[in-house]
Structures are given as structure tokens and as C-alpha cells.
Structure 1
């Protein structure tokens, strides 16, 4: 990630299942919004729209919680804020701040799954096209006998940068600034990419969901470097 009963594998599976359920409960609760390494691929009713202040009436556009992560939610009067309001018009329980909670969880899980080559986890969190790109990189890594280690040491910033609603399909784009360690090693253990040092990285990810779907998961549909 010997002999004897593989208790460690069972425990890992239980932990992974718990994390997936936890993530889906945040991203797919209809309360909200939902990095591979640099080599990864990277009908609205106006009457239903809420008043701008109702999107996040108690929170400023940018807040620095105790954990140190700076979070930015667009001003309700801005074009992005208006798009979020339209999303809430279709899904009244939609909350951008709740979405950012799930987005951070998704970010960490996808980075980890990509590094470990966990295709099952990636299938649950990525759309088909994005998954194909990620899987292609994993395939190439495995053919070369390479392994990757990726760790998100800290999340410095998260900001909602764009939002769109087409019919009942919503897209929300988040900018992540994180401190990470990313190292790719060859068969003999020598480093072929990255470095065993903390680097600040900025990524822009777009998540999508049909707000009327029974599937509550916001899936990653696009990635790029900031």
C-alpha cells in the first residue's frame, strides 16, 4: 500500500469503505458543492432562485478557519455568485461552504488513489473521460515498474472560481492550493520524477452533478494546473 491471514487488507478495505461513505455523505447530501500529479490528464426556473444573501448569509466571501485553510466563496452579486444562486434554485439544500468541505475530501482521496493506482476508488469519483486519462497514466507507470508516493501535507487555500447550470446539470470549479510531496520511483528505488520535499501546488478542478439524479456524487470532470 507473509504469511498468515491478511488482516491488514481487511482493515484497509474497511477504512476505504468508511472514507467513501463519508465523502458521499458530504458531496452527495445535496448540501453542496463537490489532484493527480502534474502528469495526470488533466431547466432553471428564475422564480425559484433565492435572494443573494441566502446563499451564505452568515459568512464573508473569504474566511480563515482555525485549521488555517483560506476559503473563498464568491460574492452573491458576482456572476459566479449568481450561478450558485441558480443552482440553489434547482436544489434548495445546496450550500457552497458545505460543498467546499466535500471538495477537500475528494481532493485528498483522489490524490491518494491516483498515487496508489486505486482504479476502483477513481471510478467512483471521476467521470468516464477523466477516469480514462488517469487510468492511462497509472497503466504507463505500472508498465515501467514505477511507484508513486503522494501526500497532501496541508491545504492552504480553496476558492470557488466558476459555476454553471445547464438545465439541471451543475458544474462547480474549485481552485486548490496545497502543500504536497510527490515522488515517482523506478524499480530500483531511484527517483525518476518529483522530489522528497514539500512543494506548494495550485490546481483547478471542476466537479459536475445532475441535480435531479438519484446518484448524489459530484464527479470530477476536468483538471488543470493553475
Structure 2
């Protein structure tokens, strides 16, 4: 009898143990959801301390990026010197200026025109005065030889050129390009001048001292962007057709 009661006691306590196990599982649940994820995030954070705490990833460690709502994600960025995809088509002048800016970030239209106008005044004055020393660093070899030849011819004839630059009415960039890192910019100058040429005896042989003439010049300047020299040289001059 005593052995039978002990056997029943064992069964009774075993049943209670099974009941408690199932009760605890129903209350606590399995560690296959949030608990496992939090534990994994904690370990990941210890290994990657700079990773944001709210970085949520799937078990397969794949990250799905949100679509870019700022524009067409398939569109390619414009290359240096090219207009944006949604911009109006650029002409040769705009493309040329953009190419120059791409290799010379300090280049600007306003800055260049300011220097070009200053060079125009210096060159016009030095040419009239026969000052080849001032002309030499401002001109290319070909243009310098032409200017120097005209000055020599005038000197041999005993003539004197007097030029008064009343003012520059306008200076406009009409052409720009970049070839083999050589930047080229062409400017149309419209100026008001008084030009008088006299002979050795002081007699006027050309021009009128009382007449202001509007003169249009088209000058082309170049600069080698590979060098640190910021100066531009006058390489060509012409009049409008």
C-alpha cells in the first residue's frame, strides 16, 4: 500500500510540473521574435558602435533603398561642361565657357571681361605711343610682330599716331572654346576713339581731332590652363565682316 501511494505522489507531482511548464510557455512565449532580434541588435551594436540604434534589417541582411523622390533615379548626372538634363540646350558659347570653367574654376565672364577691357586700353595706348615694351607681354609672338612692324613703318615715315580712347561702350564675349587645355575667348569691343595721324611737320594726314569715331574690334585671347600663369595673351585681331 505504501509503495502504491508513493507512486501516485510521483505521478501527481509530475502532472503539476508538466502543467507549470506549459503555463510558463504560454505566458513567456518562445525566443524567436522580438527577443532574439533585440539580442542580435545588441551584439551587432557592440561590434559596430557607429551603427544607428534603430537600424532595422531582415534576417537575410538585405537593405531595400527607398526610391529617390527628387527626380528620375535613372538619369545620369551631367558631365563637366554639359548642361543639366532639364536645362535648355546650350549653344557653342555656353559650352565653351563651361569647358573653361571645368579646368579653371577661377574663371568667370565678369572677371575676364574686366581684365580684357583693361588690356584693350593698354594695348591701344601702347600701340599709338609705339611702346613695344608694354606690348610684348600682352601679345602673342605673331601679333607682336605685326604691331611692331606697323610701329616701325610709321616711325620710318616720320608719322605720329595720337589715339584718345573716349570710352568702351560695350565688351561682349562672342566665342569660347577649350582645345588641348588651351582656353580661347573672343571679345567684341565697341569703343569711341579719336585717332589722328600727323607727319613730321605736324600736318594731319589721317583722322580728325574733332571727330569721335565708333570703332568695333574683335580680339581673341588665349591662355594655357596647364600653367599657373593667370595672364591671357592677345593672339588675333579682326574687324567685323
For this structure pair, what is the TM-score category when the shorter chain's length is used for normalisation?
0.5 to 0.7
Instruction: Find runs of 4+ consecutive structure 1 residues off by over 6 angstroms.
Output: none
- Superposition pairs for residues 105-124 of structure 1, below 5 Å? 105-124=118-137
Q: Distance in 2 between matches of 1:149 and 1:76?
A: 46
Partner of 1:190: 203
Deviations 1:50-101 (A, max 9, x none): 767xxxxxxxxxxxxxxxxxxxxxx992210111000000111110111000
Deviates more, 1:213-222 or 1:96-105: 213-222
- Quote how far apart the aligned CAs of 1:210 are: 0.3
1:176–1:204 CA contact under 8 A, matched in 2: yes
Query: C-alpha displacement at 1:216, in angstroms?
Result: 1.8
Between Structure 1 and Structure 2, which shows a larger proportion of strand residues?
Answer: 1
Taking only aligned residues, the RMSD between alpha carbons, in angstroms, comes to 1.7
Tell me the SS of whatever aligns to 1:137: helix
> What is the aligned counterpart of 2:116 among 73, 80, 103?
103
Counterparts of 2:216 and 2:205, CA distance in 1: 22
1:205 counterpart SS class: strand
Q: Is the 8 A contact 1:207 1:221 kept in 2?
A: yes
TM score, norm. by length of structure 2: 0.63
**200, 209, 214: which one aligns with 2:223:** 209
2:190 counterpart residue number: 177
In structure 2, which of residues 103, 110, 124 is the aligned counterpart of residue 90 of structure 1? 103
Instruction: Extract unaligned runs of 5+ from structure 2.
Output: 1-77
Larger Rg computed on CA atoms: 2
Bigger relative contact order (CA 8 A; separation at least 6)? 1
| Residues 76 and 82, structure 1, Cα contact 8 Å, conserved in 2 | no
| TM-score between the two structures when normalised by the length of structure 1 | 0.67
Mapping for residues 15-164 of structure 1, pairs under 5 Å? 47-49=79-81, 77-164=90-177
Tell me by how many angstroms 1:214 deviates. 2.8
How far, CA to CA, are the matches of 1:187 and 1:131 in structure 2? 25
